[in-house]
Amino acid sequence: MTLNRREFAQLGALSLAAGFMRALPAQTPPAAAPRKTGYAVIGLGRIAAHFMPGAVNSTNSAITGLVSGHRDKAEKIAAQYGVPLASIYSYDNFDEIAHNPAIDAVYVALPNSMHAEFTIRAAKAGKHVLCEKPMATTVADSEAMIAACKAANVKLMIAYRCHFEPVHLRSIQLIHSGQLGQVQAISSCFGYNIAPGEWRLNKKLAGGGPLYDVGIYSLNACRYLTGEEPAALEAYASTIDHDSRFSEVEENTAWTMRFPSGIVASCATTYGANMSGYFKVYGSKGWLAIDPAFNYEGVHLHGELSGQALDELSPSHDPYQFQAEAEHFSHCVENNLEPQCPGEEGLRDMKYIAEIYRSAGIPVPWRMEPVSVVSGPPRTS
């Protein structure tokens, strides 16, 4: 075979390159990126709009499915998060997620009364469940959610985002380490002036008034700040603005709790006024407060401990709290660990809500398991 000069040069270059490659040590192929826990988001409303960017900001979570009654809205969000159109589901064909291996878990962001149905359906489809608070609208539904997830061997976590907020964790550390001394009392409030037409004013969807929506933050905070469960409670409820908004749910709820240590907590929630969400803890060595406490950002801790001023602004910004809870739950899914806020945590709050309603004289039409609290006589206004 006769080669011209150009062909000979090309062949020589190839030979040199082949020899050089043989001389190199064997290269290890790059490691594949760790697989992320894929979430199908059920309900694409306001809270989901915070969770989805939080999940994608985490190291171990991804949005891999959407469930909505509005296909056009779902397709726009799917394009934003890289969700295949085939992974968009309606509420009717939701059970088909069982056949989608990209979906490991669901995030339930529906109205309160729908939490139980879709948690149970997700469990039957073999998917883990991260469910927004309140857990449900009844104690019985909450128990059914726990039972369904246990039967399917999937994890259930209630999305108490403040459990992952740095300044909340700092306040818990200050209290439980004794730096605040013996805690004597806690006060906490949260409320807002609700607009007409909100689904939260529909008792069938919401379960009740502001206690289910924002008052639950104060209830849950008193429990994790003290590390105790209430031994006694007494509650009041009222509706002052007799307009069309409150034909089904109450406008105001206030309650007191006494804990086994003797700590007394007083809480209030409203749909009739803008009430900054805060808590304040009084101890023998000082006091601390977080105000605002339950916002998505700008959470501010201040107080005085043994004569020293305390002033700390949370370093986190929206959607950090959602990122942290997604990170935690995905870690639990990946490593077969129990979540920090399992279904039993949500169930406890549901039992206390039912007891607050009973004490306030608000009808409790659902089955309510006994709780270890002593209530005063029903009181209404």
Please give the positions annotated as active site.
Answer: 133, 217
The sign of the CA dihedral 165, 167, 173, 178 is negative
Residues 255, 373: contact at Cβ < 8 Å? no
Residues 300, 291: contact at Cβ < 8 Å? yes
Buried b (16+ CB within 10 A) or exposed e, 237-271: bbbeeeeebbeebbbbbbbbbbbeeebbbebbbbb
C-alpha to C-alpha distance for 71 and 76, rounded to whole angstroms: 9
Q: Where are the alpha helices (DSSP H) in the chain?
A: 5-23, 46-57, 71-81, 115-124, 139-152, 166-176, 203-206, 210, 216-226, 320-335, 343-360
Residues 293, 310: contact at Cβ < 8 Å? no
Greatest Cα pair distance, the chain, in angstroms, is 109
Query: Residue 170, SS3?
Result: helix
Phi/psi at 154 (5° precision): -120, 160
Which residues pair with residue 301 across a beta bridge?
290, 312
**Pairing mode, strands 232-238 and 252-258:** antiparallel
Q: What radius of gyration, in Å, describes the C-alpha atoms of the chain?
A: 26
Helix, strand, coil shares of the chain, percent, nearest 5, are: 40, 20, 35
Q: Count other C-beta atoms under 10 Å from residue 6's C-beta.
A: 8
